[in-house]
Structure 1
């Protein structure tokens, strides 16, 4: 594999993964990050890699025709590659997709039994593209199936009919996935939704909100 250049997308993914690891959102091998390239392929973190210690060869490249470029024969794409693929298929403007496993994301996914989590009308929603006054906003929730392809299929089926209000979704007892038109935008989106999750957890503890 060629040596990385200074603008290699993987270098930014390494730094982002380290930052998320330090926040406690990608502990151990949990979570996965990807970035789409101009030819429609995308780099995604390889399965089983520590997100706080990624190196340039800890990524697998997935091509539109299904071809997989592996740095070593033992490198395997993240188990959740199918979810990233369906996000890129559904949202052509998306250039990166991040999935993390935070405690708060898992807690709030249990706050409702329905398939959508109501969000408080916080100022932070503006950073996610919601500029209404007192917005009525929800985040989609999907069931956590053992077979990841089933999750991806359900995401495709729902979002093909109804465009989500936010560039984010929750998988119950699993974590949050966000996407954006650049790596910076996607990182900001993830930090914003995690702030909202922390607020929801704190509000329930302090105010007993249901």
Structure 2
């Protein structure tokens, strides 16, 4: 029998809420099940007070080059997160991804504006090791995507770019929106959120004291 991931997702949401990264109903968390379905936070639910009823179970199917979603076990007053298509894109692209977390922080939004292009250079901090980067003086970038009201457009662009270029770190930024990470475990996804947010805080602090990004 599969372990229900919802209590772990609830605990992570409470932690991120306390950190100021999932204020109000912002952000979304998901976890993939062994059969390929995934639990995702329901839309419009306060992230500091989630219960097991605040999740929706989705099934993920692929149809040629499109992402097809079928809702299973719906609650009468619950809808899946508006950003379900992004989670589905990540699970489709990365077979080893078992969790996908998206949070909103002030620092993530600020660093997404540090560059005009579609990739944010990351400083060569020790924290990059926690994201799987083990190089001497690494030159790493994080992909940035434009924010659209129609979230499926963001998911389509993620799929199109990552099919051509695999990201150097398991994370992406949506400009003026927040960071999304994915990992092979729920604990790993929580760690990635903490690591990326640390890096963003460092970058903002460095910019504020006039040291630039080099």
Fold conserved between structures, TM > 0.5: yes
- With structure 2 as the length reference, what TM-score do the two structures score? 0.93
Unaligned runs of 5+ in 1: none
1:183 and 2:186 aligned: yes
State the distance in 1 between where 2:17 and 2:125 align: 26
Q: 1:192 aligns to what?
A: 195
State the distance in 2 between where 1:161 and 1:62 align: 27
1:61 and 2:57 aligned: yes
Larger strand fraction of residues: 2
1:14 and 2:29 aligned: no
1:120 and 2:123 aligned: yes
Partner SS state of residue 207, structure 1: coil
Verify the 8 A CA contact 1:57 1:71 in the aligned structure 2.
Answer: no
Q: 2:66 aligns to what?
A: none
Q: Which of structure 1's runs of 4+ aligned residues deviate more than 3 A?
A: none
State the distance in 1 between where 2:37 and 2:136 align: 39
Verify the 8 A CA contact 1:119 1:138 in the aligned structure 2.
Answer: yes
Q: 5 Å matches for 1:82-121? A: 82-121=85-124
- With structure 1 as the length reference, what TM-score do the two structures score? 0.95
State the distance in 2 between where 1:70 and 1:173 align: 33
Verify the 8 A CA contact 2:43 2:80 in the aligned structure 1.
Answer: yes
- Number of residue-to-residue matches in the alignment: 206
CA RMSD of aligned residues (A): 1.4
Q: Which moved more, 1:166-175 or 1:66-75?
A: 66-75
Q: 2:135 aligns to what?
A: 132
Unaligned runs of 5+ in 2: 62-68
Per-residue deviation, 1:206: 1.2
Per-residue deviation, 1:73: 1.3
Q: 2:64 aligns to what?
A: none
Q: 1:163 aligns to what?
A: 166
Any idea what the Cα deviations from partners look like across 1:132-162, whole Å, max 9, x if unmatched?
0100000000000110000000000000000
Verify the 8 A CA contact 1:70 1:76 in the aligned structure 2.
Answer: no
State the distance in 2 between where 1:113 and 1:8 align: 41
